[in-house]
Chain A
Amino acid sequence: MATDKHRLETIPNWIFFLVILGSMAYITLYPLGLPIPVTQLTKDTYAVVDALNEGDIILMDHGYGAGTIASHEPGFVVIFKHAMEKGAKVIMVSTSVESPLLLDAAIAKIKPEAKGYVYGEDWIHFGYLSGGEAAYAAILDDITGTFTADYEDTPLSQLPLAQELGSPTWQKIALVYVMSAGGDVCEGWIRQSAVRFDIPMIQQPLEMMVPTILPYYPINVQGVLNGGIGAAEYELFSGFPGEAVKLSDMLSMGGLVHLIFLILGNIGFFLKRKGGA
């Protein structure tokens, strides 16, 4: 009997992984359409984007990698759609090496051209820039001095929106939107943008990184999107349902199974202690 109690707190990894994988696969194949409550963080994020006026320029740090697509891409897609709805212009930079190559897939979901958005006039992708916090500062000081061409190597002189930016760039930016898995990226943008120039800012870190951004909310960061869950809430709240809503069932199931294992582990631990093992 004592061995059975021990088993509860020493379930092999392969069983643990198999149960999580199986349950998430099942819910993906047979979605339940579980409800999603919208939190205040998401409502605040929505309000910041909704306050944009036609012609306002939003600077996006498209800074996620292949590993965090599920957490970041849906939020990027829905906020871009919302910005288009408001008639805002979008300029994008990438502080992650991988992210420029992930943009095509996201843009295919956004379909800016369907809203009449013209590349170079209404939105631009400048591409990757190394240098960390110094790069964020340089972008905000003079983006046309920092980049000479966009990601597709089109000279900035041929892109009207780039000409509109000029120097100092920060004066033309109405909102900064940072999506990144790196805490240093999120905090670096806060220091260089929100603290230095008081530009409104929204951020979409990974779920596990949200607590590190909360100290800056709502003073420096006016909206925080809680990773993939936040994106699902935003999709529902803004009326642009997308991939995050579909993924939320999976998040619910994964979280529940994880919790059940935590409880089982502790039951096993208590039984073992009670039995004096």
Chain B
Amino acid sequence: MSTARTYKRQIPLALTFIVGMIITFDWFIKWEPLQNLTTTIMNFQIIMVAFMMGFAGINLVIIHTRRIQQNMSDNKMFDVLLSVVLLGCLIIWTIAGIGIGRNSDTYKWLFNTFNQPLGATAYAATLFYLASATYRVLRVRSAETGVLLLVAFITILGNIPLITTYVPIIITIRTWIADYLVKFSYRAITIGVGLGGIMMGVRTLLAMETGYLGAVEE
């Protein structure tokens, strides 16, 4: 067995097995040293995720720098502008966050003036399109779509305080749908997904599932 193969395959598999077993045992065994070890591993994962976010930022800079060069040679100036705006915002926010401080008035001003209204607008616009999509798609084309439309109607009606006040039976029907149709069908799906997750976990721990290692030379 080559050294490269050991580094690339056996060590990650061994780490996965050890960490997976520690986390699994911690769920069932309440033993303080094990709990402390689990907390350390959890904290390590939190740091890793934070690192990944920073890495994603750097990746974004690299991708858009290349894109600007490519689009400039193709004379796609609007696409260049979009990438420049993105990179500009990234630089400004980074300087404001790290240089001036995330609790500074400048950073809060930037957030309240740009992020907050833009975020709210984007979300509201999505909802407008969602409503428009339901208007165009929800048609009684068959018995099945009829049932779908009926349930959608009751759900929407149940979310309108004006209707539920004067037609309280809507709440009863909606609750019945939620209790007997949604709850149990979703529970069945969740249990199925959970069982699938357990199988996947066991396969990963036993090194039968190695896709997460990426392409490793055999």
Contact = CB atoms under 8 A, between A and B. Distances in A.
Interface of A: 9, 11, 13, 16-17, 20, 34-37, 39-40, 65-69, 98, 101-102, 104, 129-132, 134-135, 137-138, 141-142, 145-146, 151-153, 167-168, 196, 207, 211-212, 214-215, 217, 226, 229, 232, 248, 251-252, 255-256, 258-259, 261-262, 265-266, 269-270
B139 A36 contact: no
Contacts of A35: 161-162, 165
16 contacts: A37-B161, A66-B118, A98-B115, A131-B45, A141-B35, A145-B39, A152-B103, A153-B103, A167-B39, A214-B182, A215-B186, A215-B190, A226-B159, A255-B156, A259-B157, A261-B135
B165 A36 contact: yes
A34 B42 contact: no
Interface stretch (B2-10, B68-76, B80-88, B120-128): B120-128
Contacts of B186: 211-212, 214-215
Nearest to B139: A269
Interface string B30-54: 0000010011001101101110010
B153 interface: yes
A214 B39 contact: no
B35 A168 contact: yes
A140 to B, nearest CB: 10
B86 to A, nearest CB: 17
A34 to B, nearest CB: 5
A67 B139 contact: no
Contact of A256 (B42, B128, B162): B162
B160 interface: yes
Contacts of A151: 103
A34 B46 contact: no
Contacts, number: 163
Contact of B39 (A36, A141, A152, A259): A141
Contacts of B139: 9, 265-266, 269
B156 A265 contact: no
Nearest to B45: A134
Contacts of A262: 134-135, 138, 149, 152-153, 156
Contacts of B118: 66
B131 interface: yes
Contact of A229 (B134, B140, B159): B159
A266 B128 contact: no
B53 A130 contact: yes
Contact of B135 (A39, A102, A265): A265
User: Looking at B112, B135, B156, which has the most chain A CB atoms within 10 Å of its CB?
Assistant: B135
Contacts of B140: 266, 269-270
Interface in B128-153: 128, 131-132, 134-136, 138-141, 149, 152-153
B66 interface: no
A211 B120 contact: no
A211 B182 contact: yes
Contacts of A65: 119
B135 A130 contact: no
A104 B108 contact: yes
Contacts of A211: 178, 182, 186
Contact of A101 (B42, B46, B108, B157): B108
A255 B123 contact: no
Given A11-B135, A214-B186, 10 more contacts: A9-B136, A20-B131, A66-B118, A66-B120, A67-B119, A67-B122, A98-B111, A212-B186, A255-B157, A269-B141
B36 to A, nearest CB: 8
Contacts of B187: 215
B138 to A, nearest CB: 6
Given A101-B108, A252-B160, A132 B149 contact: no
Nearest to A263: B153
A192 B120 CA distance: 30
Nearest to A167: B39
A20 B138 CA distance: 18
Given A37-B168, A262-B134, A135 B42 contact: yes
